[in-house]
Amino acid sequence: MTKTEQLIQEAEASLLHTYNRFPVVFERGEGVRLYDADGKEYLDFCAGIAVHALGYGNKTYQDALTEQIRKLTHTSNYFYNEPAIKAAKTLTKLTGMDRVFFTNSGAEAVEGAIKAARKYAFEKDGHTDHEIIAMEHSFHGRTMGALSITGTSAYREPFLPLIGHIRYATFNDLESVMAQVNDKTCAVVMETIQGEGGIIPATKEFIQGVRKLCDEKGLLLILDEVQCGMGRSGRMFAYEHYGVKPDIMTTAKGLGSGIPVGAFLMTEEVAAHSLKAGDHGSTYGGNPFAAAAINAVADQFEKQDILKNVTKTGQYMADRLRDLQAETTLIKEVRGMGLLQGIVLSDAVKAGDIAKKALQNGLVVVTAAGNVIRLIPPLIVTEKDVDEMIEKLGRALKP
């Protein structure tokens, strides 16, 4: 029995079976490469589901976290801590927002955003029956609130009733959003680029139209940038491509580049009329260690000019994927932004099967809804890495 087989056997005996895991045990990483328990090398175009923005083994990042571990990892939010103060200042500057609340995950950030929107509406009229418009085929997380605004019924149905007062509109269809608005509506929530739903960017007309609608009706626009934010689109946050600004936004994943941390942010207007002391909290949120990770990531983004690489290499990857599309009838479409790209496959193959074959070829990819292969590599990926990915993926697409 190999070391991998032994470890998987132990895992299956103890872990709750909530994941259909690939039969691989990753042990270490370096750059954009992962190595399993038996020493096999893999090219990583998953990045822990868009988490490892800096790749693996960034020494400056590791040194910053090691230094913070030696100082202090946790104090609770009864007290201030310097790394969190610095992280808050950095993140508000990067987003153009005014106030931040630190969480431990993207789902928690979404939960906070929902609460802030409902409290804002409650402060205006004292009613508790306000509605939120979410998008079909969206994904916002697995907690009960985040699940309530996730627009895929299969995720929601086993856990009904959820928080209620949620309506669903069609993504990139402004008229469908307008049709759901009534006098109880308080907010519209959507991913700037739908991730789990199939790598579908918002159209400029749609997102600008929703922003205008919110302004006219006095509604809040909540943008979920948990997956598409932190540089993945080529801008620090994807909404920057569209010339809009949300009232509330969420971020996580690449924010800590491997350390569990998220945040929701809001404008001063929303902050002044929503969550007050006692309305929301988190024992671990914004602890010194997690905040140090945010600061180290932001520092590396600037020093390595990460956004420039995402724009350049992202375009190269999109071009190479379209070259691959021209060579096979199995690829119907390539879509996305920056280093968030989706390959829509024909009905002749299943994305899950291609992902398994790619893994056998030493390439890590994941899938998304709509028979899509999702490519979300570390943001330090090079054109040479892209060429290798194309070769490995091409082999996986062959009979």
So what's the pLDDT on residue 1? 87
Q: Please say whether the beta carbons of 276 and 121 come within 8 A.
A: no
Give just the sign of the alpha carbon dihedral 58, 61, 63, 69.
negative
Single residue among 262, 282, 304 that ends a domain in this structure: 304
Closest by Cα among 287, 282, 295 to 89: 295
Q: What is the pLDDT of residues 285-323, one digit of tens each?
A: 999 999 999 999 999 999 999 999 999 999 999 999 999
Q: Please say whether the beta carbons of 291 and 87 come within 8 A.
A: yes
Q: Are 26 and 115 members of one domain?
A: no
Task: Give the C-alpha separation, 331 to 344, whole Å.
Answer: 6
Triad 395, 24, 42: Cα angle to 5°: 45
Q: Are 78 and 162 members of one domain?
A: yes
Helix, strand, coil content of the chain in percent (nearest 5): 45, 20, 35
The tokens for 106 are: 């993207």
Q: Please say whether the beta carbons of 345 and 351 come within 8 A.
A: yes
Q: What is the CATH number of the domain that holds 371?
A: 3.90.1150.10
Is there a domain that residue 64 lies in? Answer: no
Q: What is the CATH number of the domain that holds 104?
A: 3.40.640.10
Look up residue 219 and give its DSSP letter. Answer: P
Is there a domain that residue 191 lies in? Answer: yes
Q: Please say whether the beta carbons of 360 and 351 come within 8 A.
A: no
* Pairing verdict, β 363-364 and 41-44: parallel
Task: Give the C-alpha separation, 377 to 384, whole Å.
Answer: 13
Number of domains in the chain: 2
**Residues of the chain with pLDDT > 70: what percent?**
100
Backbone angles phi, psi at 240, to 5 degrees: -65, -25
Is there a domain that residue 62 lies in? Answer: no
Cis peptide before 161 (omega within 30 of 0): yes
What are the residue ranges of helices labelled H in the chain?
Answer: 3-14, 47-50, 59-71, 82-95, 106-125, 144-148, 153-156, 174-180, 204-217, 268-272, 288-304, 306-327, 351-360, 383-397
Contacts of 241 (CB under 8 A, 6+ apart): 233, 234, 235, 337
Q: Are 390 and 358 members of one domain?
A: yes
Q: Are 96 and 35 members of one domain?
A: no
Single residue among 250, 283, 304 that ends a domain in this structure: 304
Q: Are 143 and 276 members of one domain?
A: yes
Query: Which structural domain, as residue segments, surrounds residue 265?
Result: 72-304
Give just the sign of the alpha carbon dihedral 305, 140, 316, 173.
negative
Task: Give the C-alpha separation, 188 to 184, whole Å.
Answer: 12
The pTM score is: 0.97
So what's the pLDDT on residue 399? 82
Q: Are 198 and 175 members of one domain?
A: yes
- Ranges under pLDDT 50 in the chain: none
Q: Are 238 and 376 members of one domain?
A: no
So what's the pLDDT on residue 228? 98
Single residue among 287, 304, 321 that ends a domain in this structure: 304
Is there a domain that residue 63 lies in? Answer: no
